Amino acid sequence: MAEAIDTAEESRAARVTWSTLRIVFGVLPVVAGLDKFTNLLVQWEKYIAPIFASMLPFSGRTFMYIVGIIEIVAGLGVLVTRWTRAFASIVGIWLLCIATDLLLGGFYDIAVRDVVMAISAFCLARLSAVVRSHAASRGGAVGPAPRGSTAVASSITPSRAREAAAP
């Protein structure tokens, strides 16, 4: 009986963590992407490494508009589509590209932060496989059951989690 409770608790923790990461990696890229058009948070062009800035066929401002559009699409892909796993991986790769630019530009502290965020985005992608596969196996929607639902606690076992996390 204790194992059933632990399994239910692990499953709930997985769903809550998945939902939290999905919101974070959905909303934050959209906010950052929108800010590329307003520069309310920061003057984004200053983060373009000189080596990359010299290669651009257009202004840094135009480049940031393009970056903003990509970030908005990626964030919405994580947040409101059924392809959270794929878009979370895209966000992770995007963050590693940004970290590379920041390293070359000498913004080491921000680059480290972006690498950590990329790792978290990849964790969301891996967790999406477990949460999604469980939801599909019970014929339900992805994510936590709606309030007031009579859905039975899920049964993501540690072995199923390890299988989904395997490369």
Task: Encode pLDDT of 130-146 as tens digits.
Answer: 886 555 555 544 444 44
The reported pTM is 0.76
Mean pLDDT score across all residues of the chain: 83
Residue 83 scores a pLDDT above 60 = yes
Output the six-digit token pair for 49: 């490494």
Compare 13 and 66 and report the one with higher pLDDT.
66
Q: Based on the structure, what is the number of domains in the chain?
A: 1
What is the predicted pLDDT for the residue at 134? 53
Q: What is the per-residue pLDDT for 2? A: 57
- CB neighbours of 27 closer than 8 A, spacing ≥ 6? 75, 79
Coil vs helix vs strand at 111: helix
- Domain with 22, as residue range(s), is 2-165
The three-state (H, E, C) secondary structure of 65-99, written as one string: HHHHHHHHHHHHHHHHCCCHHHHHHHHHHHHHHHH
Three-class SS state of 120:
helix
Q: Could you tell me how many residues make up the chain?
A: 167
Q: How confident is the model at residue 132, as a pLDDT? A: 65
**Residues in contact with 145: Cβ distance below 8 Å, sequence separation at least 6, in sequence order:** 151
The predicted pLDDT at position 149 comes to: 37
Q: Which pLDDT band holds residue 11 (cuts at 50, 70, 90)? A: confident
